[in-house]
Amino acid sequence: MSLRHAILVLLQDQEASGYDLAREFANSIGLVWNATHQQIYLELGKLNEKDMVKFRHIPQDGKPDKKMYRITEEGRDELIRWLRKPAAPPRIRDAFMVKIAGGALSDPSSILRELEDQADLRRERLNTFEDLARKLDDRDSDKNMYTYLTLRRGILDQQAWLNWAEEVRSELRRREDLTTSV
């Protein structure tokens, strides 16, 4: 998957500014694909050059004109083509998991501290996903159903991570107890 396809997914139903898209990345598609404002604006420029999106200027008082982007037929065709292809397996890049793998060279208390920080972030993300899922009032619409299914995956992922963290916490505390009792 590329940022291109994530942007086209967001533009499939309505036009949006770069700012609107960045906000959607923070609140919805960001569950599965992260992008910075700069990356989004760069990709919008590339999509425009390839005629996959078009934009219109909206004048604003005291600010630069806003560009409202919409998907074109070429963009919709590209999105459909991509949707019909099998997805590649996800690549995981998790620095904390590498720290756990190398944990024998660390001390359990420092891993526990970082685990708690990570768990706080995961609980916050879980609460956000659950709030977003509750706000989807009409799951009968196609868009909301697919958004809900994506949110459910995010919810289950966060719950599984927090369950795993509890196992790690228990094991590391047990190890600490063994070390202090010797």
pLDDT in the model for residue 150: 85
38 & 63 share domain: yes
Domain assignment present for 68: yes
Task: Write out the E strands in the chain.
Answer: 16-17, 53-60, 63-71
Q: Among residues 84, 108, 126, which one ends one of the domains?
A: 84
The pLDDT tens digits of the residues spanning 47-90 come to 999 999 999 999 999 988 899 999 999 999 999 999 999 988 88
Three-class SS of 85-100:
CCCCCCCCCCHHHHHH
Beta carbons within 10 angstroms of residue 22's beta carbon = 19
- 53-60/16-17 β-pairing: unpaired
Q: pTM for this one?
A: 0.75
Would you say residue 99 has pLDDT above 80? yes
Domain assignment present for 89: no
Q: Considering Cα of 32, then 35, then 39, then 44, what sign does the dihedral take? A: positive
Domain assignment present for 111: yes
The pLDDT tens digits of the residues spanning 129-182 come to 898 888 876 666 777 788 888 889 989 999 999 999 999 999 988 877 776 765
